[in-house]
DNA sequence: TTGTATGCGTTATCAC
DNA sequence: GTGATAACGCATACAA
């Protein structure tokens, strides 16, 4: 309780306070704080000690004006209306990355409904607030959005989407290959792909239609892997609306005489359905059935589900590194690249 | 594909560009952009049109220096190491709130491991980067953190925690009461509280021990409600480690002759366990059993689970409103208050 | 209705 | 080793 009502007097600590108090010039204060110039150890210590005592921080605005650098990146989250929760790893990676390089992170979020007229509402899409842009769009961005962003004049990295340049995305192809190889190595021969979500018909307000690249890439990569191994690709009926419908389909799928013995699931919900159906039918995970999913995290209930861990965090940190380089070099075009997955519980396949 | 390589020439658009181009004074430009002064409609339109065409945004730093206001708040996320995912509603609410009032939102995240020496690493805890602080700490904050924050000199709102001032938190007492009344109204007489999580023994690196206030408040509120109705409080064994252990406990719980007919679950995972066990035992939700949970979202699989929707979003938006008021008034002490819950699928109880 | 002058708090350049 | 000075881009008071 001793922590309350303990407010600092409303004196604002500027460099000027230090100047007067320590009898040094503004130059000296500034240089010592920023580790420049050649000053005696004594002076240096005197300044830095007082800075810490007073809790002095340079005024970010004044600094930005002078340096022509905001030391700030902006994460622009253009979420579709059906996706309330952005990927935590992206946030965390951006924050970690920024913290590592001493940058601040500004956040902005816009739904598709808010896309038209975006330029007028967002001041982040100008070049006067931050030094670089992290675009977190949920699917192939519309051309006009790309143009808008390119026209900003500051470096941009698109996250979680495949573009011809300036984009970073999880290596779904590699992850799928790893999972498929693991299943095959375990002797699985009826390998199925499970994606029952209805959300792939998502349509934006401006009539654009599409889905995240992973929707097709995961399945097509699996198809290719299985073909090379001379195995068929089995599929659970896609596009089911509700839980009961999905459960029924999963039960029927796993009850068939030629039921799959390995399943790769598009996401946690699909894996969930499979695991529940398997439990009902008395099938043991890791023995009768090898189940894999793509997910940001291992199964929260710690069930034996192999997980391809989507490298959102690494991706975001890589993006920050790229942006810092771009700010320094002035280069505005960076090659796109895939970020490798890691894996959990592969042994349960 | 026409969207690529379409970069703006590296001319930076300052107010000066507009001044020269339009033959007006800096004052006129500034005032018209900020909706001040009295200018002819023609002049006004000429300026605003050109501003939009050029995509001009005032330099945030220069503006901050001049206005002595950053038009920015900072969301400080002090997450414990076991909680990778911050509450999405808090982020969204902060962003929405900021967007509504024309403020930017800066994000900073620190784990408990990083708490010592925080002051030296974070420049957000000074008064030179933003106008107000949103503190998202996971439990009762340690005194030294509160002191540190109070000493910043900028207004602060603590989120999701109960303090004697400057805090906003979900009204768990009210929510619990609503759920309990609903169960009782449906004729439920054996009402149970389910909280099997082991995480409540969480201990911070500095030896502080505690849990989120909701851990005790939800149960105690329920106890009170039931006492008033002359009903007993039944509990499922708490502190279970893994899925199998929890499932076994839930099965036994629901198999007893005097099994509960109404259950209030601390979170989605507890509800999940109950629902799975109920399915195994052939108990129908909404008929044999009324199941309620506290959660940010309704059940993702759309099962009949009544949900007390944690008002993180509303809470965060309220925090922004409070901060704006505090910035304007200079007041640094705001009364704490509870934010009401909303509910989904109450009819299934 | 418009223009001039000034200051916000920094940091870089250059001179001592 | 240290200090004087200018400049960053904007917004306001005041003068015209």
Question: Does B126 contact A56 at a Cβ distance shorter than 8 Å?
Answer: yes
Token pair in block for residue B87: 């509450």
Strand pairing class (B337-339; A306-309): unpaired
A positions 159-188 inside 8 Å of B (CB): 164-165
What 3-state DSSP class applies to B222? helix
Quote the CA–CA distance of A209 and A94 in Å, as a whole number.
28
**Over 70: is that where the pLDDT of A205 sits?**
no
Which residues lie across from A306 on neighbouring strands?
A: A292
Q: Which residue has the higher pLDDT, A201 or A211?
A: A211
Residues B81, B82, B83, CA angle at the centre, nearest 5°?
Answer: 95
What's the mean per-residue pLDDT of chain B?
87
On average, the pLDDT of chain A sits at 87
The confidence score (pLDDT) of residue A47 equals 92
Confirm or reject contact between B300 and chain A (CB < 8 A): yes
Q: Which of B110, B38, B28, B41 is nearest to B74 (CA)?
A: B110
Cα dihedral across residues B75, B76, B78, B82: positive or negative: positive
* Between residues B201 and A101, the one the model is more confident about: A101
Q: Which residues contact B49 (CB under 8 A, 6 or more apart)?
A: none
Confidence of residue A244 (pLDDT cuts 50, 70, 90): confident
Which tokens in the block code for residue B270? 């507890």
CB B175 within 8 A of CB B294: yes
What pLDDT band is residue B300 in, cutting at 50, 70 and 90?
confident
pLDDT in the model for residue A184: 96
By CA distance, what is B96's nearest residue in A? A109
* Rounded CA–C1' distance between B311 and D4, in angstroms: 57
Q: Does A49 touch chain B (CB under 8 A)?
A: no
Q: Which residue of A has its CA nearest to B276?
A: A276
User: Per-residue pLDDT averaged across B323-349, rounded?
Assistant: 93
Residue B224 token pair? 């009170």
pLDDT the model gives residue B244? 85
B145 to chain A, minimum CA–CA distance in Å?
9
Report pLDDT for A94.
93
Of the pLDDT bands very low, low, confident and very high (cuts 50, 70, 90), residue B199 is: low
Q: Give the DSSP H or E segment for A182.
A: helix A172-185
Q: Output the pTM of the full model.
A: 0.89
B259 min Cα distance to partner chain A (Å): 23
- Largest Cα separation within chain A, whole Å, is 88
Contacts of range B205-211, beta carbons closer than 8 Å, 24 or more positions apart: B205/B112, B205/B113, B205/B115, B205/B116, B206/B112, B206/B115, B206/B116, B206/B142, B208/B142, B210/B139, B210/B140, B211/B139
Helix, strand, coil share (%) of chain B residues, nearest 5: 40, 20, 40
Helix B60-67 and helix A60-67, axial crossing angle in degrees, nearest 10:
140
> Where residue B197 falls among pLDDT bands split at 50, 70, 90?
confident
Q: What's the CA A46/C1' C9 distance, rounded, in angstroms? A: 21
* Cα–Cα distance for residue pair B175/B180, rounded to 1 Å: 9
Q: What is the rounded distance in angstroms from the CA atom of residue B236 to the CA atom of residue B271?
A: 12
SS (H, E, C) B121-190: HCCCCCCCCCCEEEEEECCCCCHHHHHHHHCCCCCEEEECCCCCECEEEECHHHHHHHHHHHHHHCCCCC
- Residue A128: the pLDDT is 85
Task: Report the residue count for chain B.
Answer: 349
Q: For residue A301, what pLDDT is reported?
A: 81
User: Which residues lie below 8 Å from residue A324, measured CB to CB, with a gap of 6+?
Assistant: A101, A103, A132
Work out the pLDDT band at B332, boundaries 50, 70, 90: confident
Strands (E), B205-319: 233-235, 262-265, 290-295, 306-309
pLDDT of residue A206: 53
**Among positive and negative, which fits the CA dihedral A276, A281, A282, A286?**
negative
CB A260 within 8 A of CB A253: yes
3-state helix, strand, coil in chain A (%, to 5): 40, 20, 40
Enumerate the residues of chain B whose CB falls inside 8 A of the CB of residue A70. 60-61
- Give chain A's end-to-end CA distance (angstroms, integer): 53
Mean pLDDT of B6-22: 75
In tens, the pLDDT along A12-66 reads 889 989 999 899 999 999 999 898 888 898 899 999 999 988 888 899 999 999 9
Kindly report the nearest CA distance between residue B103 and chain A, in angstroms. Answer: 10
pLDDT band at residue B81 using 50, 70 and 90 as cut-offs = low
Work out the angle at residue A115's Cα, subtended by the Cα atoms of residues A114 and A118, and round it to the nearest 5 degrees.
95
B86, closest residue in chain A (CA to CA): A88
Taking residues B245-267, what's their average pLDDT? Answer: 94
Interior angle at CA B262, CA B259 and CA B264, nearest 5: 115
Mean pLDDT of A98-112: 87
Over range A245-259, report the average pLDDT: 93
> What is the pLDDT, as a whole number, of residue B1?
37
Q: Is the pLDDT of residue A209 over 70?
A: no
Whole-number Å distance between alpha carbons of B164 and A6: 13
Q: Supply the DSSP symbol for A13.
A: -
Cβ–Cβ contact B64 with A under 8 A: yes
Inter-axis angle of helices B312-329 and B88-101, to 10 degrees? 40
Q: Would you state the pLDDT for residue B41?
A: 87
């Amino acid at each position: 309780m001793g922590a309350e009502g303990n407010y600092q007097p409303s004196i604002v600590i500027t460099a000027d306070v230090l100047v007067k108090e320590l009898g040094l010039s503004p130059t000296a204060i500034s240089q010592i704080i920023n580790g420049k110039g050649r000053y005696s150890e004594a002076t240096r210590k005197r300044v830095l000690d007082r800075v810490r005592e007073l809790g002095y921080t340079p005024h970010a605005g004044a600094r930005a004006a002078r340096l022509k650098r905001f030391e700030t990146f902006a994460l622009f989250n253009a979420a579709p209306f059906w996706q309330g929760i952005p990927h935590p790893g992206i946030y965390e990676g951006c924050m970690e990355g920024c913290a590592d390089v001493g940058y601040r992170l500004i956040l902005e979020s816009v739904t598709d409904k808010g896309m038209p007229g975006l330029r007028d509402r967002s001041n982040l899409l100008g070049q006067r607030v931050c030094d670089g842009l992290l675009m977190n769009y949920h699917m192939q961005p519309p051309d006009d959005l790309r143009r808008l962003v390119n026209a900003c004049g500051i470096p941009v990295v698109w996250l979680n989407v495949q573009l011809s340049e300036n984009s970073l995305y999880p290596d779904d192809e590699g992850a799928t290959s790893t999972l498929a190889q693991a299943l095959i190595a375990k002797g699985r021969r009826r390998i199925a792909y499970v994606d029952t979500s209805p959300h792939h018909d998502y349509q934006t307000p401006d009539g654009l239609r599409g889905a995240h690249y992973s929707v097709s890439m995961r399945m097509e990569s699996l198809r290719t892997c299985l073909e090379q191994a001379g195995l068929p690709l089995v599929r659970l009926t896609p596009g089911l609306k509700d839980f009961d419908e999905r459960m029924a389909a999963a039960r029927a799928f796993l009850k068939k005489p030629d039921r799959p013995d390995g399943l790769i699931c598009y996401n946690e919900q699909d894996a969930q359905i499979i695991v529940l159906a398997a439990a009902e039918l008395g099938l043991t995970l890791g023995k009768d059935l090898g189940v894999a999913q793509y997910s940001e995290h291992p199964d929260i209930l710690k069930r034996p589900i192999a997980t391809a861990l989507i490298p959102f965090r690494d991706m975001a940190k890589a993006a920050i590194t790229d942006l810092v380089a771009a700010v320094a070099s002035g280069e505005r075009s960076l090659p796109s690249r895939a970020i490798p997955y890691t894996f959990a519980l592969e042994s349960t396949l």
